[in-house]
Structure 1
Amino acid sequence: MDFTSKLILFTITFAWLLFVGTADSPTGNMHVVNRNFLKPGGLLDLCKKTTNPTLCENSIQPHFFKPHLDPSEALTIEVEATLNQTEKTMVVINGLYKKVDLSKSLKDSLDICKEQYGSILDAIKQTKDAIATRNWVEARAKFGAVISSQQACSDSFEGIQQEFTFAGDSKTIFDLGGNCLDIIVDLQQSEPQNDPPMTQSPPSPYDNVIGPIS
């Protein structure tokens, strides 16, 4: 192989190595899938146990850049996605409410949904507080209200399903909420909660007395 051929081969090899290095670098311009999500215990393992695994992966992965998956941080991202979807749906509900030609049945349903979605926002806030202290029992109890409120809104459209124009948005809240609950349960099982310490009564002057006290 002459000198020119060797030079061309070296140039091609060097350029290829630079390309691979850029693609694998977190600061590179190319979008690459974080390989850690594919490892055992990664995002795929976490999401496959949820209500909607595909939605779980799609909503969490773009926001998770650390080399190792922390399920509690993944949960925080999914809770935030639920909050964003709820706020988006509330905009739709408020827009429908402003229409002048509302039927009474639709108005009644929207009244219920406005109240229930307000409850969802409260439940999400309380859940975030519980997550911050890693109190999974409390988080599970509080976030359960998200699903209950979403269902109450959906049920209010029974008989007038054709007017339930935000049913798709509502279903997304249900799926995101289900994912959150599934992750909370997983965390609850992997991090058993300690029972709260029993409060001891102050010592009594009669602790060492034997027999009836006169």
Structure 2
Amino acid sequence: MDSPSPSSEAPVDSTSPANPPTEMDIDSPSPSPEAPEDSISPANPPTEMDIDSPSPSPEAPEEIPGAPSGKTLISSATTLLKQTLLPPEIKTICGKTDNPKLCESSISPLLTAAIKPDASSVLVLSIQASINATKAVMPTVNKVAAADCQELYDDAVSNLEDAINAVKESDIATVNTNLSAAMTDYGTCNDGFEETGEPNPLADVADKLHKMVSNCLAISTLIK
């Protein structure tokens, strides 16, 4: 019986124990590339913009102390324009008074297109201007003057109102009586300060009102 031939030797593994293969860990993730270093250094942090904060509003123009306000300038310009546009008949009537410029400036704010430029109409306007001026100073009178001056200025208003009613009734004698009484009211208040020797805070006010009513008396003489 033939003996089996020796089997061929298995090929020797080329991987020697001295150089074991490197085992690859397929489960571990590959290292991610390093992120680029932020170019903004802590020494120069970015400026944060506050989008909620409103932008600064422009500063209002600084007012000049003692300078007239815009309203005052507009009012003065309007009054001056009305004086310039006064009908010549009214300028002629005011020219017959002792204070023609005061006559024009006092009645021009009250003038309308419906008013006739005759002596009676101008007289009513002039008296009404005196009433308005007297009422306008009443807070000052009540603050700085004695009680008798307050009553006198109230009486002056009543006398002037009666004078207007008399003009409408063509009662010139009563007109003149009431106008003269109003002038006396202003003067009596001034006399009270002179008697006591106290300074009169209403001297300038009374002087202007006296001139306004004096103009009314002059205009009343033009009514035929």
Q: Normalization by structure 2: what TM-score?
A: 0.57
Opposite residue 58 of structure 1, the aligned amino acid is S
1:51 aligns with 2:98: yes
Q: How does 1:27-46 map to 2 (within 5 A)?
A: 33-34=84-85, 36-37=87-88, 42-46=89-93
Distance apart, 1:93 and its partner CA: 1.3
Q: Secondary structure at the match of 1:44?
A: helix
Q: Select the residue among 130, 145, 149 that pairs with 2:185.
A: 149
Q: Secondary structure at the match of 1:165?
A: coil
Q: Distance in 2 between matches of 1:64 and 1:127?
A: 19
Q: Distance in 2 between matches of 1:155 and 1:51?
A: 23
Distance apart, 1:35 and its partner CA: 6.3
Q: Give CA-to-partner distance per residue, 1:18-59, whole Å, 9 cap, x none.
A: xxxxxxxxxxxxx5733632xxxx122211221211100111
Q: Structure 2 vs 1, CA of residues 35 and 185 (structure 1 numbering), >3 Å: closer, same or farther? A: closer
User: Contact between 2:90 and 2:118, CA under 8 Å: does it hold in 1?
Assistant: no
Q: Distance in 1 between matches of 2:150 and 2:166?
A: 25
Q: Distance in 2 between matches of 1:119 and 1:68?
A: 29
Q: Distance in 2 between matches of 1:89 and 1:44?
A: 27
Matched with 2:30 is none
Matched with 1:85 is 133
User: Contact between 1:55 and 1:176, CA under 8 Å: does it hold in 2?
Assistant: yes
Work out which structure has the larger RCO, using CA pairs closer than 8 Å and 6 or more positions apart in sequence. 1
Q: CA RMSD in A?
A: 2.1
Q: Give the structure with the higher percent helix.
A: 1
Q: Secondary structure at the match of 1:69?
A: coil
- Segments of 5+ residues of structure 1 without an aligned counterpart are 1-30, 98-109, 192-214
Q: Name the larger-Rg structure.
A: 2
Q: Distance in 2 between matches of 1:55 and 1:88?
A: 17
Matched with 1:181 is 217
- The alignment covers a number of residue pairs equal to 142
Distance apart, 1:184 and its partner CA: 1.0
Q: Distance in 1 between matches of 2:166 and 2:86?
A: 31
Q: Secondary structure at the match of 1:126?
A: helix
Q: Distance in 2 between matches of 1:118 and 1:35?
A: 31
Q: Secondary structure at the match of 2:193?
A: coil
Q: Normalization by structure 1: what TM-score?
A: 0.60
Q: Distance in 1 between matches of 2:86 and 2:218?
A: 23
Q: Secondary structure at the match of 1:163?
A: coil
Distance apart, 1:61 and its partner CA: 2.6
